[in-house]
Amino acid sequence: MKKITLSLFVAFASSVAFGQYNQDTTVQLGNSNVALVDQEGVRNTNKILQVGTSDVVIINQSGFYNDNTTTSLGSYNISTVDQVGVSNENSTYQVGLANNGDVDQMGVNNMSNQVQLGMFNSAENFQMGNSNASNQFQMGNSNSATSGQLGNSNTSGQFQMGDSNNAMNIQMGDSNSNSQTQSGNNNFALNNQDGYYNSSEQLQVGNYNLAFNNQSGWVNSSEQTQLGNMNIASSNQSGWLNSSDQLQVGNMNMAMNSQDGNFNSANQIQFGNANSASNDQDGDNNETLQVQLGNMNDAEVTQVGLSNFAYQYQSGNNNSATSTQLGQSNLSIQTQTGYGNNADGMQIGSNNMILQTQNGMSNTALDVQFGVGNAAIVTQNGLGHSHNGLQVGSNNLAIVNQSNF
């Protein structure tokens, strides 16, 4: 009986010990490679493969069920991983020369994936919280990707192909998502999210493009697409359920969007070169659509209040359109086709309407409305027309047609 009891005790002790072990597998092929591994806790797993010369890998694991895989193929690559918590997972894969990967995970169920192919690339990822996910992919030389996640269930994807690109992501809160894709050289993308369920997508194809996104609040969405060179896109959102979509195709275009409030919407579309579009919304349920086809066009919208709508369409070169709406449920539509046209509209009040249409060259239209329910409809066809309109009061109507064709 004593033998049976002793045998059961030994078997039980062995199973407990087996269940608590940490595991490390390190393979080094080459010269002067360094691997430093420190594991504290239960069932942490680490796998290292180094093939090359003077690669350095430093792994620190503290907690339970953390997992790391590091592969370094080349020379002078550095990989550092710190995992504190439970069931964190990281994979670092580096091929080339003098690449640097750094990962810090604190919490539960965080996931990190780093792939670097080339020379002098740098990837940094910091995660504090639970169930965050980060993917970083770089192919080329001297690229930099940085991601910081503080909260829960945030996701980030950073993909860079080319040289000297820079992508930065900062997420604070829960369930935010971000995607940054750069193909070309010397592009820069910055995403900053503070809140819950915000989403951002940034795509840059070309060289020397800049994209900035800042979101504070709940369920805001932003999309920025740049195809060309030296384009600038900026979006700032504060509040709930705001949406922004910026598309730039060409060179040296600038699109600026600012939204402070709830349920605001902005769409900015630019095809051509050196176009400028700006939108500023302060309030709720405002909507802006700006379309620019050509070169050196300028479009500006300012909305303060509720449920205002502004549409600006420019086809040609050197056209300028400005719309200012202060109040509620105002409507402004400005259409320009040609060269050097200028359209300005200001609405203070509610339910006012401005329709300005310009076809030709060097036409000028200015309409100002103070009150409720005023309407101004202006059409200019030809060259050099000028219109100035002022409406003060309620339910005034002005219809102007100018042509010298």
> What pLDDT does residue 405 have?
76
Tell me the pLDDT tens digit for each residue of 285-294: 999 999 999 9
Please say if the pLDDT value at position 41 is more than 50: yes
Tell me the pLDDT tens digit for each residue of 47-73: 999 999 999 999 999 999 999 999 999
Cα distance between residue 264 and residue 384, in whole Å: 36
- pTM, two decimals, is 0.92
Please say if the pLDDT value at position 186 is more than 90: yes
The DSSP bridge partners found for residue 303 are: 281, 325
Mean pLDDT of 194-200: 98
The three-point CA angle 121-117-103 to 5° equals 55
Band of residue 20 on the pLDDT scale cut at 50, 70, 90 = low
User: Contacts for 303-310 with beta carbons within 8 Å, 24 or more apart?
Assistant: 303/264, 303/279, 305/330, 308/283, 308/332, 308/347, 310/334
Tell me the pLDDT tens digit for each residue of 66-121: 999 999 999 999 999 999 999 999 999 999 999 999 999 999 999 999 999 999 99
